[in-house]
Structure 1
Amino acid sequence: MERALDWFALRVKPRTERVVADALAGKGYEQFLPLHKERKRWSDRVKMVETPLFAGYVFCRFDVQQRLPILTTPGVMHVVGIGQTPYPIDEAEIASLRVVADSGLQMESWPYLHVGQRIQIVSGPLTGASGILQSVKSRDRLVVSISLLQRSVAVEVPEHCAWPASA
């Protein structure tokens, strides 16, 4: 029986996230580049543009023992890890991040949180996502974190959709 491949975060050169994601897909790797809409202001106009949720990072599923094709992809700087050792990202964190990214709801980058109550979303477009519940300006937000990167994403959730996560 074949073992499932792990997800890893790749540190990429600034503003090359899409190029790297496309190159990895072209090589046959499963990659994930979560995007969000952001209001950008120029001197003459304001426009909504899609930008990477985690600037400088692309997620990719691969065999860590066969990482040379990943590392030779133009724009890839290194595989994120502890010291020189690549460290996989929890499958549940990637799954929750996918649910949030695919929901179509407004999201924003969020400071990484070390404490707070873990919750599970039980209804609505985010059903199945889990993370930390935070309250900001009297509005509840689900914060989904990628522990290895110490980065998080927040999305507003109705109070009735959240339930304490089981241990």
Structure 2
Amino acid sequence: MPWYAVHTRSRHESKACDGLTLKSIHAFLPKIETWSRRKDRRKRIQLPMFPGYLFVEMMRADNQERLDILKTPGVVKILGTARGNIPIPVPDEKIEAIRRLVDSKVEIQHYRYPKAGERARILDGPFRDIEGMVVKADPRKDLFVITIEILQRAVAIEMQGFQVERV
């Protein structure tokens, strides 16, 4: 069965994952271990590798299962096409790579999204590997507007956070 990315409410990843598991839906919430500073000490804590997201395994055509996922407390949406009506599967090799990374216990740092005015590289889609300038950034909505120059003209395109990286 294919895997799909699920957007959750902020800081509700574990609650959503537990709710999906109770519904017998195979959910995967990759977590990383990091240090947290308290007033008097440092403590190791586990945080979601991808804040606001988890992964579920489901049949694409199963509308009832999709509805069960969307009705789970903490779940916002299943990532998909721009209209949101067709979920887009996450390749198995990417899920496997994430599992290996989590299992390896390697120290992982969260990467900051680019801000307006910073240069960014597009990682996915028809403009892959092209660099441009971030004009507008809204990480809460996971939306970035990047201008790229094509034939001495600037064009602005909207990208999602997973499609861009700071240069």
Instruction: Find the counterpart in structure 2 of residue 96 from structure 1.
Output: 97
Give the alignment's TM-score, normalised by structure 2. 0.62
CA distance in 2, matches of 1:151, 1:52: 19
Structure 1 letter corresponding to 2:21: A
Ranges of 4+ aligned residues in structure 1 off by more than 3 Å = 110-113
- How far off is 1:87 after superposition? 0.9
- How far off is 1:151 after superposition? 7.4
Q: How does 1:100-111 map to 2 (within 5 A)?
A: 100-110=101-111
CA distance in 2, matches of 1:7, 1:47: 33
- How far off is 1:77 after superposition? 0.4
Tell me whether 1:77 sits opposite 2:76 in the alignment: yes
Structure 2 letter corresponding to 1:42: R
Tell me whether 1:150 sits opposite 2:132 in the alignment: no
Identity between Structure 1 and Structure 2 (%): 30
Q: Which has the larger radius of gyration?
A: 2
- How far off is 1:111 after superposition? 6.0
Give the alignment's TM-score, normalised by structure 1. 0.62
Instruction: Find the counterpart in structure 1 of residue 33 from structure 2.
Output: 37
CA distance in 2, matches of 1:95, 1:61: 13
Instruction: Find the counterpart in structure 2 of residue 160 from structure 1.
Output: none
Ranges in structure 2 where 5+ consecutive residues have no aligned partner: 114-120, 124-128, 130-159
Structure 1 letter corresponding to 2:96: A
Count, aligned residues: 116
Structure 1 letter corresponding to 2:162: Q
CA distance in 2, matches of 1:7, 1:55: 18
RMSD over equivalenced CA pairs, Å: 2.2
- How far off is 1:108 after superposition? 2.4
Ranges in structure 1 where 5+ consecutive residues have no aligned partner: 116-147, 153-167
Describe the superposition over 1:90-137 as per-residue Cα deviations: whole angstroms up to 9, x where unpaired.
Answer: 11100111111111222223468735xxxxxxxxxxxxxxxxxxxxxx
Cα gap change, 1:100 to 1:88, in 2 (>3 Å):
same
